[in-house]
Structure 1
Amino acid sequence: MHQAPAGWTAALTFGQVWRTEEDSEFSLSSGLSRETVSDLLIAGRFSAPFGLTISARGLLDKDARFNKAEALASWSNSRLDLNASYLLLVRDNDEDRASGQSEWTFDSTYQVSRHWAASTEARYDLADRRLDRLGLGLQYRNECIEVGFAARRNYASASNLEPSTDFDLTVALKGFSTGGSAKEYRRTCAF
């Protein structure tokens, strides 16, 4: 890991497992395979002081192909949080995955005002080339209460034959030893 005086950090990790005997208990895509040498784990991370964070990790097999991989990117400031992720999983019957999976996921939260925040989410299935999920949310928070409303549309897929829409309403009381801090919402009174 490297931490620069300018405030950014970077890390790169490699890993591999060696065994004296083969073990047939591991699934093919687990990275531990059925041989005495595992797949190579490669992981990296970069973080900048202006709110950008990028990380990736994957298992590289002996044919130089990734059988599992994940990449995450996020950027945030005082009002906006943006997140994107990519996931790759190969077909593996031992893990009940009859076909490979590959998807993008996006989500964001925008602090509209001191008390109001809006959020969005989306998931796109690259293997099936279709939108898998779409969601919107709105939240109100002050020193006493937190109220959230969210709507999420799940589209039809091989495992979910009927599309569905879910609505969530949550209400939480703040300041009664709930473990959260309401400091940022405390009002100041003066005479």
Structure 2
Amino acid sequence: MTRIIAGDARGLRLDVPGSGTRPTSDRVRESLFGALESADAIEGSRVLDLYAGSGALGLEALSRGAAAVDLVEKSRPAAAIVRRNVATVAKALGSSASEAPPARVHESAVQTFLKRATGQWDLVFTDPPYDLNDDAMTADLAALAPLLSEDAVVVIERARRSTPPDAVAAGLEIFREKTYGDTAVWWAQPAAASQSR
């Protein structure tokens, strides 16, 4: 079972795809979001959740005060579950059907989405399948970099045994790293932002 940990939709249960995704554990999400809130990276932010799976990361951010969330998921069955979860969270947050949705689901491969995207995001979660190779991970980050706001935070989740992301090749800079069991999480920022932090 996956649930929203905190915020206005706290305790809400989220559906999870039966296979093909690897939901981030409650323990990792709790620690991660506590750190993001301490860094004032959530309130009012524009969030992008790549390889969304159930949408738990993006919807947790929405519950905690993000202004808008885009969730990208290639699998049709998983994208359908994300849409259901979005509707459940939107209802809990009091959004009416006539309002612009607080979260949008994009049924698309990540590279395809990033190549045609025009928005600027403040907070990005990328939690690709563990078997995604290093070159593909770097290509994702390189395509993402021009779409980030100046002070954006990019959270990259991979297996602990994975090679650290090649952020430099993508125009980013890693500024924090933490391991939770077999999960490693890196925080990155646009390389130009490192002088202002």
- TM bracket (short chain): under 0.3
Question: Which is higher, the Rg of structure 1 or of structure 2?
Answer: 1
Greater share of strand: 1
Bigger RCO (CA 8 Å, 6+ sep): 2
Q: Which has the higher helix share?
A: 2
With normalisation by structure 1, the TM-score equals 0.25
